[in-house]
Structure 1
Amino acid sequence: MACQAIFYLFMLGTCSFANSLELKQVLILSRHNVRTPFADNLQSLSPNVWPKWEDAPGELTKKGALLEGYHGQYFSQWLDQQQLIPEGCPEQNSVFVHTNTIQRTKDTAMAFLDAAFHNCSIPVDYENILEMDPIFYPDAHNTEAVKQQIISEISKKLNETDLKDVYLELNRIANLKDSQICKEQSYCDLVNDTGDIVYKVGEEPVISGPLYIAFSMVDAFLMGYYEGLPEEDIAWGEIKTDEQWNLLIKAVNARQDIRFNLPKSSKELAKPLVQYIKEMLSSNKTLTLLVGHDFNLHSVIAALGFKLFKLPGQLENSPIGAKLVFQRWSDGVNDFLRVEYVYQSLPQIRNAQQLSLLNPPKNITMHFNNLSDEDGFYRWSEFESILRDVTE
């Protein structure tokens, strides 16, 4: 049963150990789905006209809700196939959902639930505050004592990151030399500028300058691609090859890596969320869904000590709608952990392909740096030691 379920969900080829296991609990840490671009100053970065979006900057789109619903349908089928949560409404209080306080995370969770457990009246839990939820905000807990360490690590990674080719390509695509920001602020070339690190305790670290501008532009191109805009409306038709996408996406991945994948500070950044994950895995909840952001995935992966990985069929290191799926399995005596990174490929997102057991999302099995596994399974007690190391 366990082998069959894992095969359908993750298309694994090795099932000997899994045959003896039964799935007992699942926790999903998810990034929100497709949103509108963040930046509200895009028009100043190019003389060309940018696409118009129906929603405000940073909000979940209708396409994003649709795609998240496909995730919900898929996980519902898998949970039913594994007999963890049979088809229909789950037992009362067996499913718990918590999200960050902003629209794109709350609406992502609602789309998932509506598709997975339609008309089951499962609430979405979130803090009734105007600010970001401290659980999901990786810098809200930092003190002056760790501020300089974080700045030092960010500065080192920033200096080691070479994005000249990205900047040259964006200069050309956006025609930056004829832009408003060039005419009014003499900001005409991404290559010949340096970034500043602006970081206050309790706030998110900000890297100004060329990296921020490059991220803003590429993020807008990528969200347009995800949304399904015509190719001539994505970067004004200037992105014509996979090689160009692979080059430009470096700006998005580098920005997240530089800010949150920090060797010494990752545990501090992820501690509140890892503590929450630890508590939920110790609860009686059969399924927990936590919806946050790409930086939550980055910081948790770094803090828990997972090995480096690549995501076939994707450009982003933490794709839109991506999910880190923690699974507790049991052989009747001992519990085991398996962690999968589940995500939609570029074609699945752009073409809005419906997901099912026969057309699953992409996935990879996650592996820890310093633990031995059997077919991707780790002893639960070893995982608990990692959680304690991060949170205590």
Structure 2
Amino acid sequence: MPAMTSKYPWLRGLAVALALLASPLLHAETLNTEGLRLDKVVLVMRHGIRPATDTAELQAWSAKTWPRFAVADGQLTPHGYAATVLLGQWQRQYLVGHGLLAADGCPDAGQAYLWSSPVARTRATSKALLEGLFPGCPVPVHHASAGQDRLFHGSENGLAGLDRQQAEQAILAAMGGSPQAAQVKYGPALLRMQTLIGVPATCPKAPRCALSDQPWGLKEKGTTVKLSGPLSVGAAMAETFRMQYAEGMPLDQVAFGQGRTAHEVAGLMELRSAKYALSQHLPYVARRGASQLLSQVLLALGDTGTAAAGGPPSAAWLAYVGHDSNIAQLRTLLGFDWKIAEYPEDDAAPGGTLLFERWLDPRSGQRFVSLAYVAQSLDQLRQLSHDAPYRVQFGGVDGQPLMPLARFEQAMGERVDASATEPQGYADH
């Protein structure tokens, strides 16, 4: 109806909403919001597709040559940028359909705000998301400097450090009591990775150059303790295989020809899942690492803080764009489990998003919160699909997906470690 929508602009919004509601959102879990109005959205998103952050390290432990991406290590790829634009376009349709955004034009001043990790790939992901959501609109990407960011990289910059003894106890418990127990548990997955990559003639730990021969253990780093051994390298290899497939690389290059389908790629990700089970998914680590971010989300949903008082800017659409570690820790702190397409359980997919929505009952004035995890599947990323992403709904703190705001604030506020929080600055550095 092009002629009518140009004469009556409100019809264009109605047409978008009807198209969205009529389309088969095959990957979405339904949420009964009848009689409610979407009032606010706060999201926490992981960056999109990137190469390994240290290809040289992967190569040092491999007999085979790792294929190169089109960009430098750790940067968002052009394909990843395009996939994020599509995610933004879908989100725009969704928000227009629910009346949070107007169908035309740019958001009003203060209606949309994005705070990014200072890392280049997250800032590029932020730009792509805004391009899809608000095409042609001057919505900036805000961020702190690398050395001052204590929201996404708190422990590295002096906020929420870990107690060495508590961290060690948590890791050992997750290992099954000792590094040797973890080695037995994850040894088969490491051997499968070893068979796939081969054994190089020389390596950083020569003459023992098989990754699977490296000893498992713990090491002190600063005032805390971390994993040592082959798991981190194996996890980085698994993640790179996933990124190769999502990037659209030729299938004979994905996982050296062993990742020809999303299902095969997922089967190679055991070591990545293991690393997160022994690090970011530990309740103690997550509580220390994600309390600052969760506290800012709660302030935003309740509109109980101002930027001047160390809370987030008041905006109907507020986005935080960070890393898989942020998603993993926040997921653990929230107590939210998900399984999307072929991804491993509780996996932080490229571009995957924790979506907090505030709903208003216009009759009573009561406000509610819903929470979902939204992500494109590996095939959607690879094919740059326009289909709606997958969505898994949080079951709620009391078994109700639509939670009264006050109850959500109370339950999640009790999980925040106050000693791991501080007033958050939102001035660009």
TM-score (norm 1): 0.88
The answer to whether the 8 Å contact 2:81/2:125 transfers is yes
The Cα shift of 1:305 comes to: 2.5
Tell me which amino acid in the other structure corresponds to 1:75: Q
Is the contact made by 1:260 and 1:298 (CA closer than 8 Å) also made in structure 2? yes
Aligned equivalent of 2:319: 289
Match of residue 390 from structure 1? 415
> Which residue pairs with 1:312 in the alignment?
341
Which residue does the alignment assign to 2:197?
174
- Kindly indicate whether residue 149 of structure 2 is the aligned counterpart of residue 133 of structure 1: yes
Q: Which runs of 5+ in 1 are unaligned?
A: none
- Tell me, in whole angstroms, the C-alpha distance in 2 between the residues paired with 1:217 and 1:274: 30
Aligned AA (2:128): A
Match of 2:53 among 38, 55, 71: 38
Structure 1 377/240 Cα, relative in aligned 2: closer, same or farther at 3 Å? same
| Aligned match for 2:388, one of 349, 360, 365 | 360
Q: How does 1:172-251 map to 2 (within 5 A)?
A: 172-176=195-199, 178-181=200-203, 184-190=206-212, 193-201=215-223, 206-239=226-259, 244-251=264-271
Number of residue pairs the alignment of both structures matches = 378
Residue 278 of structure 2: SS of its match in structure 1?
helix
State the alpha-carbon separation in 2 of the partners of residues 106 and 270 from structure 1: 20
Question: 1:118 Cα deviation (Å)?
Answer: 1.4
**Structure-2 change in CA distance of 1:126 and 1:214 (3 Å):** same
CA drift of 1:79 comes to 1.0
Cα distance per residue 1:39-71 (max 9 Å; x no partner): 232221122211122322111111111110001
Of 367, 374, 379, which aligns to 1:342?
374
Q: 1:255 aligns with which of 265, 275, 285?
A: 275
Alignment pair present for 1:19 and 2:37:
no
Report the AA paired with residue 95 of structure 1: A
2:73 pairs with one of 57, 60, 63 = 57
8 Å contact kept, 2:281–2:332: yes
Cα distance in 2 between the residues matched to 1:208 and 1:110: 36
Identical-pair percentage: 24
Go from structure 1 to structure 2 and tell me whether the alpha carbon gap of 1:186 and 1:13 turns closer, same or farther (over 3 Å shift): closer
Instruction: Work out the CA distance in 2 between the residues paired with 1:244 and 1:12.
Output: 24
In 1, Cα distance between equivalents of 2:81 and 2:260: 28
Is the CA contact 1:3–1:18 (under 8 Å) kept in the aligned structure 2?
Answer: no
Please give the secondary structure, in 1, of the residue aligned with 2:235: helix
**Shift in CA distance, 13/342, structure 1 to aligned 2, threshold 3 Å:** closer
1:130 to partner: Cα distance: 3.2
Deviation at 1:192, TM superposition (A): 5.9
* Structure 2 counterpart SS, 1:98: strand
What SS does the aligned partner of 1:96 have? strand
Q: 1:32: Cα distance to partner?
A: 0.3
Structure 2 unpaired stretches of 5+:
1-13, 304-313, 419-429
My pick for the range that moved more, 3-12 or 297-306, is 3-12
Question: Given that residues 101 and 131 in structure 1 are in contact (C-alpha distance below 8 angstroms), is that contact kept between their aligned partners in structure 2?
Answer: no
Counterparts of 1:239 and 1:14, CA distance in 2: 33
Measured at CA, do residues 143 and 74 of structure 1 come closer, stay the same or move farther in structure 2, by a change above 3 Å? Answer: closer
Please tell me the residue identity of whatever aligns with 1:148: Q
| Partner Cα distance (2:21, 2:373) in 1 | 13
Q: Which residue of structure 2 aligns with residue 111 of structure 1?
A: 128
- Alignment deviations for residues 134-180 of structure 1 (CA, whole Å, 9 cap, x no partner): 10125342346x3321222123213464212211111111112x442
**Which residue pairs with 1:95 in the alignment?**
112
CA radius of gyration, larger in? 2
Any idea what SS the aligned residue of 2:359 has? Answer: strand
Alpha-carbon distance in structure 1 between the residues aligned to 2:21 and 2:412: 25
Distance 1:85 1:256 in 2: 36
Q: What is the distance in 2 between the residues matched to 1:163 and 1:138?
A: 30
Match of 1:329 among 340, 359, 362: 359
Q: Is the 8 A contact 1:97 1:288 kept in 2?
A: yes
Could you tell me which amino acid in structure 2 is paired with residue 371 of structure 1?
D
Normalised by the length of structure 2, the TM-score is 0.81
How far apart, in 2, do the equivalents of 1:314 and 1:76 lie? 25
Residues 30 and 293 in structure 1, CA contact (< 8 A), matched pair in contact too: yes
Instruction: After TM superposition, give the deviation of residue 206 of structure 1 in Å.
Output: 4.2
**Using the alignment, how far apart are the partners of 1:288 and 1:98 within structure 2?**
8
Farther-moved stretch of structure 1 (158-167 vs 86-95): 158-167
Matched, 1:275 2:295: yes
Change (3 A) 1:352 1:5: closer
Task: Summarize the Cα distance change of 1:50–1:136 in structure 2 as closer, same or farther, 3 Å threshold.
Answer: same
CA 261–123 in structure 1, closer or farther in 2 if over 3 Å, else same: same
Code of the aligned partner of 1:216: A
Give the superposed CA RMSD. 2.7
Q: Which amino acid aligns with 1:166?
A: A
Secondary structure in 2 matching 1:385: helix
1:86 counterpart SS class: coil
| AA of the residue aligned to 1:113 | L
